Every structure is written in C-alpha cells, then in structure tokens.
Amino acid sequence: MKITNPILLFFVLPTLAPLLLPLDTLLSGLGAVAFAAVLLLFTGYFVSRGRALALTFSIFLQGLSFVVRLMLFFSGSVSAQGVVDWPFIITSLLSMIISIYLVFRLDDVDIRAQMRP
C-alpha cells in the first residue's frame, strides 16, 4: 500500500518517526524535540514545494534516524539489571518501521518526478 496523501507523506510521518519516543524521554528533552520538529516540518514544506535537495535531505534524515534507532535498540532495550524497557522497545520498533518505509517511499519515481532541481 502506497501512501499518496502529501500531508501525511511529507509532514506527519517524517516528523513522527524520529520523535516517536517514550513520554518521559520526550518531556525531559522538550527543547530538542521542539527544534527537531520545526526542522522536520520545514524540510517537509520544501519537499512539498518540489525542492529536490530537501527531498534528499529528508531521505537522509530518515535513514539516519533508522540507523541511530537500530544502534540504540540493542543497548537500551534491557537495562544492566535485566529489566526490559517495553515502552522503549515498542516506540523504537515503530519508529524504525516508519523511517525505513519513508526512505523507500520518498525515493520512489512518482515522488522524484514531482521535484525540480
């Protein structure tokens, strides 16, 4: 199933994927979360306006988000005491799924055809 709604594809999912974190983590870094959200929304705006460089930047950010989440997943899923952190596992898996979907979806021909140099 391909998502064709530009609002969902350029604004909602790209902003949601990197910022999908457990609630306590979000609240502890509210300033950084707000900055990242604004950056991702600006990137989405320029992608929706047809800027190829912004599309490349958005794909790069989603790929970087996937790689960082993958590296943190194995070190943060279980504490040193052996306690499983379920909110972290669930949000990390959802974030990785959305990010990798966006990497492949934003690189499709139909999206690339809408861009101009």
Global pTM reads 0.89
Structural domain includes residue 116: no
Please, which residues have CB within 8 angstroms of residue 25's CB and are 6 or more apart in sequence?
88
Q: Find the domain containing 23 and state its range.
A: 6-111
| Total domains in the fold of the chain | 1
Structural domain includes residue 60: yes
For residue range 26-81, what is the model confidence (pLDDT) as tens digits? 899 999 999 999 999 999 999 999 999 999 999 999 999 999 999 999 999 998 89
Structural domain includes residue 1: no
